[in-house]
Amino acid sequence: MFSKNKFPYIVLGLGIGILLTNIIYVFNPVVEYKDYSEAEIVELASELGMVFIKESIDTSDIKDSKKKQEKIILIVEEGDSLGDVSNRLFELGIVDSAERFHNYAKEKGLERKIRIGTYELMPNQNYDDILDILTK
């Protein structure tokens, strides 16, 4: 096919062709440049469906739910057992299940560490937070 004598000339010809093509495109580019303002960029991006993170997050529900959540008063009296406290927490709507809370406190070894007093709790607090409040 190719003799060894023609190969360097073929490579040289390809190299010269590449160089000439690059020189032509450097002096005569086919690219159209346009400077966009920030407002134009935002408008074009919104047409493509892109949004700012702050615009895409609806915080009204979060603010409303925080306003709706009021503190609930729990009174632990002398002689109240963990079962009594668990049932009262369930009745007040602070925990979702008295039995689950009771078992969780037992697993943590805190059934005898609940202190007497008046506590302000929020509905649907996690069990660890409630136990921290009741044992400190």
- Residue range(s) defining the domain that contains residue 77: 61-135
pTM for this entry: 0.49
Q: What is the CATH number of the domain that holds 69?
A: 3.30.1490.480
d(CA 81, CA 74) in angstroms, rounded, equals: 14
CB burial readout 100-133, b (16+ within 10 A) else e: ebbebbeeeeeeeebeeeebebeeebebeebbeb
Residue 10 lies in a domain: no
List the pLDDT tens digit at each of the 136 positions of the chain: 567 788 889 999 999 999 999 998 888 877 788 899 999 988 888 888 887 776 666 666 655 555 556 788 888 888 888 889 999 989 888 888 889 989 999 988 888 888 888 988 887 788 888 889 888 8
Residue 108 lies in a domain: yes
- pLDDT, residue 8, reads 87
- How many independent structural domains does the chain possess? 1
CB burial readout 5-41, b (16+ within 10 A) else e: eeeeeeeeeeeeeeeeeeeeeeeeeeeeeeeeeeeee
DSSP per residue, 62-101: HHHHHHH---EEEEE-TT--HHHHHHHHHHTTSSS-HHHH
Residue 124 lies in a domain: yes
- pLDDT, residue 71, reads 83
